[in-house]
Chains A and B, each alone.
Chain A
């Protein structure tokens, strides 16, 4: 009797579940019939990563509004999401669910390759020919097998942001151009009792970028290209990068307890230390101007003392001294997004809109014809360095894909914490490449 009843309950349950399950998969979205642009009203959902209040976020609102004024049939729904949350949880889940946003940020390198292989992204090669040409060589980061799947709106190389007043007080005549000079500068800055370099090791990547730069100096361009393509890390230069880093950390150039210092977003972060006159230098990219403004107690004073110089060269190394690490931000359209999505993306990277973006001071624009929008002196020096760089290597964690990237960053952080070795970084990268 009891068993019979139980069977009946289970049966009832499974039927209910089955009904619910079919109910969920009911609404199939069919490819809309080819219609003429701007004829029917469409709503584009747009995710971007300018989640913090500030000029960056406001500018995207303005861009969406302007586009809607130009093309009243297109309504744009914006959602600003913090980068990591966006790229690591929200977007992958949305892309798996068949209901992704129409236009969203994509990371280039290994990441976009996987997204293209999964058929998530719209091929822009023929739809945005002129815009791709106008963006130039940095568009390559968003290209896979010669086809274009995304367009950048920001691109720049990283270097060292520094406090000019402190350099003057310490008696440092000119920004260091070699690591020997950088070491000297560190000693001089210690003598006037300031933190020479702030590093947000707590967030891992700001620390890892130091290793990337040592790798960039130690490895030839060909080695780096091969590593990105085949995930081949046999070259001894990757070991040397760790050894150089370890030697550099041993000179104690960073603030105390850097292992728990966050990177960018609050006054206790490495950014906060630089912006509020508590540290003299920080390794960061072009986007840092906007984030420094956000955490500075007195942004006006900060703007007076802040400057930027490229990562110094290491004499006698294999790397190209004029090569730089860099990266950017770009947007892609979902495979099934309406045609208006591509039009909107083209609008974002048009010289006029790019010029306005440059004027916000949150990053360097990409499109030719927008350079005049860059007025900040620090950003102008990054722009010059970017254009004169002989080779721009994409951030290694992005270039190698997130699995190798994450393992590599963790192992580098262990060196910073004093319980990892240069060999362990290479081992971690090799073993992650097999995962």
Chain B
């Protein structure tokens, strides 16, 4: 509870009642104060908590309940089968392919987007003419709707599409592949599209983080004779740590749950062969299209548990310093 008080009143707890009051009055005053604070807490958090419970916790409960049935979405579920749906999922090679693809996207996004975003953010943080335009351009893909991005890249990457024409025009026609049809290549093509789409988000986050790095530290380092590279390495990067970790966290969760870009860019056949399926597309393909609603719910629960465990582990070990006191115990 103390952490709540702390958050609410960081200035240092309850303000002291005016001196000269009798102890009994003081006590009543404090009780009134406490009550008022509780009304405040309840009044401010209830709407959010109600929405959260209704639209997050309750559906998770329902999903788990439905996942225990063989149910095809017609009439109420009656055919209870315990954990069979979960066993079935881990025996399906296509679901295992989906898990592998999610892993590729999680690590691929971190390893590719991270360095690119860091480099671009450091560059865009310097003063030069047209900086705003470049910042805007870097962020544009992120603002576009996922479906728009998906359709656009599908048209660009289609056989003999814009991308192939571009390669040919610069004499690299030999590199042309069936970007969206070759079952061994399609996941890397999709990783490229996802990188294009989401790197802008990383850049903007890092730029925000960079603007919080005090200019004085840079100047101090400069006076001490540090080069630009040394300043970035020893002053800026360490101070950017919290931002980078938060971005990694968001990127990881987003990658585990990725759906729309994959769904739109990759055709059903390639998905169902496992080449481009992710857990989320697998869930929709099986839950809705094969009309295995109970099974689809089991996949949803698996996706939830994986994301949840990943989130908890990440927070426990990497974000700990940044969010101390919010979800962990108060720092001593």
Contact A12-B183, Cβ < 8 Å, known A92-B74, A117-B74, A407-B290: no
**Chain B residues with CB below 8 A from A261, complex form:** 267
**Chain B residues with CB below 8 A from A92, complex form:** 73-74, 288, 291, 293
B268 contacts A203, C-beta separation under 8 Å: yes
Q: How far is the CA of A12 from the CA of B47 in the complex (A)?
A: 12
A413 contacts B269, C-beta separation under 8 Å: yes
Q: How far is the CA of A92 from the CA of B75 in the complex (A)?
A: 10
Q: Which positions 285-322 of chain B face chain A at CB distance < 8 Å?
A: 286, 288-293, 295
B74 contacts A204, C-beta separation under 8 Å: no
Kindly state whether residue B112 has any CB partner on chain A within 8 Å. no
B270 contacts A259, C-beta separation under 8 Å: yes
* Contact of B74 (CB < 8 Å), options: A1, A115, A413: A115
A403 contacts B291, C-beta separation under 8 Å: yes
Q: Mark A372-404, 1 if CB is under 8 A from B, else 0.
A: 000000000000000000000000000001110
Indicate the member of A12, A207, A260, A409 with the most B CB atoms within 10 Å: A260
A203 contacts B267, C-beta separation under 8 Å: yes
Q: How far is the CA of A84 from the CA of B73 in the complex (A)?
A: 15
Kindly state whether residue A69 has any CB partner on chain B within 8 Å. no
A202 contacts B270, C-beta separation under 8 Å: yes
- State which size class the interface on A falls in: 35 or more
B54 contacts A17, C-beta separation under 8 Å: yes
Indicate the member of A2, A407, A417, A435 with the most B CB atoms within 10 Å: A435
B180 contacts A260, C-beta separation under 8 Å: yes
B289 contacts A84, C-beta separation under 8 Å: yes
B269 contacts A202, C-beta separation under 8 Å: yes
- State which size class the interface on B falls in: 35 or more
Q: Nearest chain-B residue to A2 (Cβ)? A: B1
Between A and B, how many residue pairs show CB distances below 8 Å?
110
**Chain A residues with CB below 8 A from B148, complex form:** none
**Chain A residues with CB below 8 A from B72, complex form:** 114, 403
Q: How far is the CA of A416 from the CA of B270 in the complex (A)?
A: 11
Kindly state whether residue A39 has any CB partner on chain B within 8 Å. no
Kindly state whether residue A89 has any CB partner on chain B within 8 Å. yes
B74 contacts A260, C-beta separation under 8 Å: no
Q: Nearest chain-B residue to A119 (Cβ)? A: B75
Q: How far is the CA of A9 from the CA of B182 in the complex (A)?
A: 55
Q: How far is the CA of A378 from the CA of B304 in the complex (A)?
A: 52
B158 contacts A16, C-beta separation under 8 Å: no
Q: How far is the CA of A89 from the CA of B283 in the complex (A)?
A: 13
A88 contacts B267, C-beta separation under 8 Å: no
Kindly state whether residue B26 has any CB partner on chain A within 8 Å. no
Kindly state whether residue B178 has any CB partner on chain A within 8 Å. yes
A419 contacts B273, C-beta separation under 8 Å: yes
Q: How far is the CA of A12 from the CA of B270 in the complex (A)?
A: 50
Kindly state whether residue B140 has any CB partner on chain A within 8 Å. no
Q: Nearest chain-B residue to A116 (Cβ)? A: B74
Indicate the member of B49, B54, B74, B273 with the most A CB atoms within 10 Å: B74
Q: Mark A1-44, 1 if CB is under 8 A from B, else 0.
A: 11001000100110011001000000000000000000000000
Kindly state whether residue B181 has any CB partner on chain A within 8 Å. yes
Q: Nearest chain-A residue to B267 (Cβ)? A: A202
Q: Nearest chain-A residue to B75 (Cβ)? A: A118
A89 contacts B288, C-beta separation under 8 Å: yes
B269 contacts A260, C-beta separation under 8 Å: yes
Indicate the member of A20, A115, A119, A417 with the most B CB atoms within 10 Å: A417
A88 contacts B75, C-beta separation under 8 Å: no
Q: Mark A141-180, 1 if CB is under 8 A from B, else 0.
A: 0000000000000000000000000000000000000000
Q: Which positions 244-279 of chain A face chain B at CB distance < 8 Å?
A: 256-262, 268
| SS class, residues of chain A in contact with chain B | helix
Q: Which positions 118-160 of chain B face chain A at CB distance < 8 Å?
A: 155, 158-159
B268 contacts A96, C-beta separation under 8 Å: no
**Chain B residues with CB below 8 A from A1, complex form:** 1
B74 contacts A20, C-beta separation under 8 Å: no
Kindly state whether residue B222 has any CB partner on chain A within 8 Å. no
Kindly state whether residue B53 has any CB partner on chain A within 8 Å. yes
**Chain B residues with CB below 8 A from A268, complex form:** 155, 158-159
Q: How far is the CA of A2 from the CA of B3 in the complex (A)?
A: 12
CB distance from B91 to the nearest CB of A (A): 10
Q: Which positions 61-76 of chain B face chain A at CB distance < 8 Å?
A: 70, 72-75
Q: How far is the CA of A260 from the CA of B268 in the complex (A)?
A: 8
Kindly state whether residue B8 has any CB partner on chain A within 8 Å. no
Kindly state whether residue B323 has any CB partner on chain A within 8 Å. no
**Chain B residues with CB below 8 A from A260, complex form:** 158-159, 178, 180-181, 267, 269-270
A417 contacts B269, C-beta separation under 8 Å: yes
B267 contacts A414, C-beta separation under 8 Å: no
**Chain A residues with CB below 8 A from B269, complex form:** 201-204, 207, 259-260, 413, 416-417
Q: How far is the CA of A432 from the CA of B288 in the complex (A)?
A: 15
**Chain A residues with CB below 8 A from B267, complex form:** 202-203, 259-262
CB distance from B88 to the nearest CB of A (A): 8
CB distance from B181 to the nearest CB of A (A): 3
B272 contacts A413, C-beta separation under 8 Å: yes
Q: Mark A81-117, 1 if CB is under 8 A from B, else 0.
A: 0001000110011011000000000000000001101
**Chain A residues with CB below 8 A from B73, complex form:** 92-93, 96
B292 contacts A435, C-beta separation under 8 Å: yes
Kindly state whether residue B212 has any CB partner on chain A within 8 Å. no
Kindly state whether residue A406 has any CB partner on chain B within 8 Å. yes
**Chain A residues with CB below 8 A from B159, complex form:** 256-257, 260, 268
Kindly state whether residue B42 has any CB partner on chain A within 8 Å. yes
CB distance from A234 to the nearest CB of B (A): 22
A20 contacts B268, C-beta separation under 8 Å: no
**Chain B residues with CB below 8 A from A402, complex form:** 289-291
Q: How far is the CA of A413 from the CA of B325 in the complex (A)?
A: 53
**Chain A residues with CB below 8 A from B273, complex form:** 259, 410, 413-414, 417, 419
Kindly state whether residue B166 has any CB partner on chain A within 8 Å. no
A118 contacts B74, C-beta separation under 8 Å: yes
Q: Mark B33-68, 1 if CB is under 8 A from A, else 0.
A: 000001000100010011001100010000000000
Q: Which positions 158-179 of chain B face chain A at CB distance < 8 Å?
A: 158-159, 178
Question: Besides the contacts A17-B50, A409-B272, what 4 more A-B pairs have beta carbons closer than 8 Å?
Answer: A17-B58, A117-B75, A413-B269, A419-B183
Give the A-binding residues of B (Cβ under 8 A): 1, 38, 42, 46, 49-50, 53-54, 58, 70, 72-75, 88, 155, 158-159, 178, 180-183, 267-270, 272-273, 286, 288-293, 295
- 8 contacts across the A-B interface (CB closer than 8 A): A12-B46, A13-B49, A17-B58, A20-B50, A207-B269, A403-B291, A413-B272, A435-B292
